[in-house]
Amino acid sequence: MSLHGTIVSGFGGQGVMLIGQILSYAAMVEGKNVTWLPSYGPEMRGGTANCMVVIDDEAVGSPIIDKPTEVIAMNIPSLIKFEEELEKDGMMILNTSVIDKEPKRKDIKVIKIDANKIADEIGNLKVANMVVLGAYIEGTKIISLEAVQKALEKKLTGTKAKLVQINIEAIKRGMQVAKEQL
């Protein structure tokens, strides 16, 4: 595996940081080297938020990503901000529930996922972020679903433990939608 630098970006409250944390935990479960660097806008909920996740088999030199290999854009400002920074032949995953624009670049792979609609069908709008994570897992093959499940079990404890299964269901649905586009 070569170095993967992923930017996850959206509005505060969309679960952007949780995507990054689960991705990071899952990579660690698989014995990979990883960094997770959060960045918050001036407001928490409703403001912009993003995180950078770097995953590699080798030691990670820096948590900062200049040219991400993947971008998960949960809203239009994220698409606009990170599209140009994405590496040539990189992958952009778009939450089309919120983003009604097309990327301008033609030299990147794009996975479109109606995450909010799928989450609503599952029965909990809060799992839209996991639907998008599923698309990422399918599109990149960087980490396994098993590692993600272990990461969710580590992160969602106590009263939140009952949410592991609905999150796994959301991830599987995201993986299926992505598979149809690849």
* pLDDT one-digit tens code per residue, 29-87: 999 999 999 997 665 555 679 999 999 999 998 899 889 999 999 999 999 999 999 99
- In this predicted structure, what is the pLDDT of residue 33? 96
* pLDDT one-digit tens code per residue, 116-172: 999 999 999 999 999 999 999 999 999 999 999 999 999 999 999 999 999 999 999
Cα distance between residue 87 and residue 43, in whole Å: 29
Cα distance between residue 108 and residue 163, in whole Å: 34
Cα distance between residue 73 and residue 70, in whole Å: 10
Closest alpha carbon to 173 in 118, 102, 126, 109: 118
Lookup: tokens for 99: 């983003």
Q: Facing residues of 54 across strands? A: 5, 35
Residues 37 and 51: beta-carbon distance below 8 Å: yes
Q: What share of the chain is helix, strand, coil (3-state, %, to 5)?
A: 45, 20, 35
Residues 6 and 50: beta-carbon distance below 8 Å: no
CATH topology for 4-181 is Pyruvate-ferredoxin Oxidoreductase; domain 3 (3.40.920)
Lookup: tokens for 59: 């030691």
